[in-house]
Chains A and B, each alone.
Chain A
Amino acid sequence: MSIINEMKLDFLSCPANEAFARMVISAFILPLNPTLEQLGDIKTSVSEAVTNAVVHGYGEKKGTIRMRALLDDAGGLTVEVTDNGCGIRNIQQARQPFFTTMESAERSGMGFTVMESFMDDVEVHSEPGRGTTVRMSKQILAPCPAARRA
Chain B
Amino acid sequence: MLTHEKKRGTMTVRLTGDLDHSTAGRIREELDELISDPGIRRLVFDLSGLTFMDSSGIGMMIGRYKAMMRRGGSIAVQPGNAQVDRLIELSGLYQIIEKLA
Chain A's closest residue to B53 (CB) is A44
Q: Could you tell me the distance between the alpha carbons of A117 and B58 in the complex, rounded to whole angstroms? A: 15
B62 touches A16 (CB 8 A): no
Q: Could you tell me the distance between the alpha carbons of A40 and B55 in the complex, rounded to whole angstroms? A: 13
B87 touches A44 (CB 8 A): yes
Interface residue stretch chosen among B6-14, B18-26, B35-43: B18-26
With A43-B52, A108-B58 in contact, do A51 and B20 touch (Cβ < 8 Å)? yes
A146 to chain B, nearest CB (A): 31
B20: contacting residue among A37, A47, A110, A113, CB under 8 A: A47
B91: contacting residue among A19, A36, A110, CB under 8 A: A110
User: Which residues on the A side are within 8 Å of B28 (C-beta)?
Assistant: 106
Q: Could you tell me the distance between the alpha carbons of A18 and B18 in the complex, rounded to whole angstroms? A: 11
With A48-B54, A106-B60, A108-B59 in contact, do A16 and B90 touch (Cβ < 8 Å)? no
Chain B's closest residue to A113 (CB) is B90
User: Which residues on the B side are within 8 Å of A43 (C-beta)?
Assistant: 52, 83
User: Which residues on the A side are within 8 Å of B21 (C-beta)?
Assistant: 15, 18, 51, 54-55
Chain A's closest residue to B21 (CB) is A51
Residues of chain A touching chain B, judged by Cβ–Cβ distance below 8 Å, are 15-16, 18-19, 22, 36-37, 40-41, 43-44, 47-48, 51, 54-55, 105-108, 110-111, 113-114, 117
Residues of chain B touching chain A, judged by Cβ–Cβ distance below 8 Å, are 18, 20-22, 24, 28, 52, 54-56, 58-60, 62-63, 81-83, 86-87, 90-91
